[in-house]
Amino acid sequence: MQGIQQHDETGVKPAQRRRFWRCADRETLRDHQLQRLNRLLADAVAHQPFYREKYRGVQLPLRSLEELPRLPLLQKPELTSDGAATICGLPASRYVRVHQTSGTTGTPLRLLDTAADWRWWLRCWQYVLDAAEVKRRDVAFMAFSYGPFIGFWTAHDACVRRGATVVPGGGMNSQMRLNVIQSCRATVLCCTPTYALHLGSVAEENGIDLSRSSVSRIIVAGEPGGSIPEVRQRIEAIWGARVIDHTGATELGAWGVGSRDGRGVHVIESEFIAERLVFDEHTPQGRPAEDGELAELIMTGLGRCGAPAIRYRTGDLVRGRQSDDPENRFLLLDGGVAGRADSMVVIRGVNIFPSSIEAIVRRVAGDAEYRVIQGAQQSMAQLRLELETDAGQQGMPARLSDVFRQQLGLRIEVTAVALGTLPRFEAKAKRWIRES
């Protein structure tokens, strides 16, 4: 394939590197991770004042991955304010990209990438494109706004690198995007799960049958819906297309890809080291989680030298397991990320994640838009939900409330609101509102 990069910086053909992740035995994979981690640590200590100070007194290199806990954890507050400039500690002339987080959980965090870092981002995205079987003949439509949020910028450039045709969808409303998808005969759609459902609603309003469109694969990211069976099945039914989940973060890179059965997420272990730690009053530094135990995901990216994230506390709560089975390496169960540590709420002793509410709403009310209001009544935490319904769905709120009580053991008041009254989202949906 003339004009397409055939080797990465290590001299290994990209396709061979991606096969290595699936085919290498556990010992070989861990040796690979250790070698790359030690190279990253040496580079960080030599060139990043932040890490030189952070690792003062830590004996390097590490002799095995069992020594990984010797490295202090990286906390998100260290990346905010002046910390962001410190962790991107190379000369300003080395950086070529500026991107930021969505700001869903606070002030957006801005991070920088060197040219080599960006090439690594794109290399990680090739694993996702492999799962979606993207070929040079494909036409990929990017349904997101091209702002500073990292969004699908990496998907755009990764598709270009692979040789596919890329159609940017910024600056368009949903109807315009549907028109372009049809006129360009897009075969791949990249968007959030929420927006895939919203495009389905707009299509239905305009008499468009998306199941007959040219789109055969939908790559979703930004929310856990792609690996929640109820959400995934709803999207696939509307579009007549296969959903491929992807997980990543501005602070880390493109670190995960949905499993083939659509019920979990694989960590790309050739490019990342994942840990699952449980934090409590007895183990403030965290203890390794058992298989299936709810724990916080700790991630180390192995190829980003301009802004290294080493043992980063993601804030994502997951249930996972490790195995030597190439199809189930480091697998995050139950839809991948169960929720964020700061998004879990305790209502009358019941732990509730937004993903749990999402799964039930999609199973009962399809792609109806909704909003959850978290408040308090007589000093007790309460949830209530607003659901868009039409005249023919008057019994839907009561039915949904019954299912919440049966499935969650919790009474959640559900009220009907008129169609089109709740906000729509093309990036990460912000459906949870906290009342003061």
242-278 tens-digit pLDDT: 999 999 999 999 999 988 888 788 899 999 999 999 9
Q: How far apart are CA 277 and CA 293, in angstroms?
A: 9
Residue 1 has pLDDT above 60, yes or no: no
Give the E-state strand segments of 197-311 in sequence order: 217-220, 242-249, 253-258, 265-267, 272-278, 287-288, 295-301
Considering the entire predicted model, what is its pTM? Answer: 0.82
Q: Which of 180-189, 229-238, 260-269, 377-386 has the lowest mean pLDDT?
A: 377-386
Q: Which two tokens stand for residue 174?
A: 């949903």
Domain ranges, ordered by start, for the chain: 14-340, 345-434
Q: How far apart are CA 319 and CA 323, in angstroms?
A: 14
The rounded percent of the chain whose pLDDT value lies above 70 is 86
Residue 20 has pLDDT above 80, yes or no: no
pLDDT recorded at residue 341 = 63
Q: Are strands 312-322 and 287-288 parallel, antiparallel or unpaired?
A: unpaired
Among residues 34, 72, 76, 79, the alpha carbon closest in space to that of 54 is found at 72
Q: Establish whether the linkage from the previous residue to 288 is cis, with ω within 30° of 0.
A: no
| pLDDT band per the 50, 70, 90 thresholds, residue 181 | very high
Mean pLDDT score, 392-400:
87
CA dihedral 261, 138, 177, 125 (to 10 degrees): 60
3.30.1020.10, 3.40.50.1220, 3.30.300.30, 3.30.230.70: CATH of 345-434: 3.30.300.30
Counting Cα atoms < 13 Å in the Cβ hemisphere of 425 gives 16
Phi, psi of 143 (to 5 degrees): -95, 70
Residue 348 has pLDDT above 80, yes or no: no
Q: How far apart are CA 215 and CA 188, in angstroms?
A: 6
Among residues 340, 320, 326, 325, the alpha carbon closest in space to that of 275 is found at 320
3.40.50.2300, 3.20.20.410, 3.30.200.20, 3.40.50.12780: CATH of 14-340: 3.40.50.12780
